[in-house]
Chains A and B, each alone.
Chain A
Amino acid sequence: MSSLRPGNVGIVIVSHSPKIAEGAADMVRQMVGDAVPLAWTGGDVDGGLGTNVAGILEAIETAWSPAGVAILVDLGGAETNSEMAVEMLPEDRRGRVLVCNAPVVEGAVIAATESSGGSPLAAVKRSAEEFYA
């Protein structure tokens, strides 16, 4: 999935369940449209429940935007694997990808809404996290 407006912050959805990740992405598309670069990943490398660094790196690449990428995660391993993936990015990209401390579905929709208005990465992350607070 890629966007016609690459100036907006990209959104990556990471869930242990590919169905949840895909479903959350569907909700983002329906509610926010195509204004933001969006990608999802879920499941371990064998297709079971879990998350994997390679899949997350691929999703970051798909949703890449010069404005950066906000990652929404579900449970612990999704967060740890996402942080690992961010560290493995080339240095010039590493600082432009943030993992949000927000619920995955609501956070993704709110982050995408904020991004679609052209907000910078920090504001996108803040909006997603404020919903949680």
Chain B
Amino acid sequence: MSLDRVARERLVRALAGAVIEHADELTSLDQAIGDGDHGLNMKRGFEAVLAALPGLADKPLPDMLKAIGMTLVMKVGGASGPLVGTFFMELGKALPEQPSRADLVVATEKAIHAVKARGRSEAGQKTLLDVLVPVHAVLAGGGDAKAIAIEAAQAADRTTPMLAIRGRASFLGERSIGHMDPGSRSASLLIGAAVETLEFEVNT
């Protein structure tokens, strides 16, 4: 996979756009089982990422991802800033400048591991890991862009009946059941935007 400058900028704009356009939806999901700031927080973070363009896209892919991660860590706030920011930072650390699909599989696994450590969490606790982990399995299993995007959306849906064990929603106990996890929704939006953009760039 070779991402030139134009493709990198397109990727950044797609990621930011997906979050910013759905900020109200993310906020209303978070109002149901959290503290209602997820949409606003993520929007603030990705607006800061957009503000770093065009210079951001001048960086090689690994450095660009690390810079996105650091911006999210510093700007998003909540627990999402460190969690989503860590994912991007670790992805940047693990990927070469011209990653193959195999590189992407290894790097996302490392990034997921870092998110687990940061949140002291595992899949099954109604967090973004419930999207990241199954999507990684589809990626590792050779699924195409469409299969990955579908899995991301369905995995977010599958958090609805789950009982929250980590994060603010866990305070609600059983009342967290019946609402989609906001962090899973934002993760699925980001993955959907990424694969849609990258679909045209893949040539492994």
Contacts and interface: CB of A to CB of B under 8 A. Distances in A.
A83 to B, nearest CB: 7
Given A45-B74, A77-B81, A84-B73, 8 more contacts: A44-B44, A44-B78, A51-B78, A77-B77, A77-B80, A77-B168, A81-B81, A83-B82
Contacts of A79: 79
Interface residues of B, number: 21
A53 B74 contact: yes
A90 interface: no
B82 A80 contact: yes
A113 interface: no
Interface residues of A, dominant DSSP? loop
24 contacts: A44-B44, A45-B74, A45-B75, A49-B35, A50-B77, A50-B78, A52-B75, A53-B74, A76-B79, A77-B77, A77-B78, A79-B79, A80-B79, A80-B118, A80-B119, A81-B77, A81-B78, A81-B81, A83-B82, A84-B73, A84-B81, A84-B82, A84-B85, A84-B86
Contacts of B77: 44-45, 50-52, 77, 81
A16 B35 CA distance: 11
Given A50-B37, A75-B168, A76-B79, A84 B44 contact: no
A95 interface: no
Contact of B41 (A44, A54, A83, A84): A44
A85 to B, nearest CB: 9
A41 B152 CA distance: 36
Most chain A C-beta atoms within 10 Å of own C-beta, residue among B35, B40, B79, B167? B79
A46 interface: yes
Interface in B76-101: 77-83, 85-86
Contacts of B167: 76
Contact of B79 (A45, A49, A77, A88): A77
Interface of B: 35, 37, 40-41, 44, 73-75, 77-83, 85-86, 118-119, 167-168
B79 A81 contact: yes
Contact of B37 (A48, A54, A84): A48
Contacts of A46: 44
Interface of A: 16, 44-46, 48-54, 75-77, 79-81, 83-84, 88
B175 to A, nearest CB: 17
Nearest to B36: A49
A75 B35 CA distance: 11
A77 B167 CA distance: 8
A45 B74 CA distance: 9
B44 A45 contact: yes
A54 B74 contact: yes
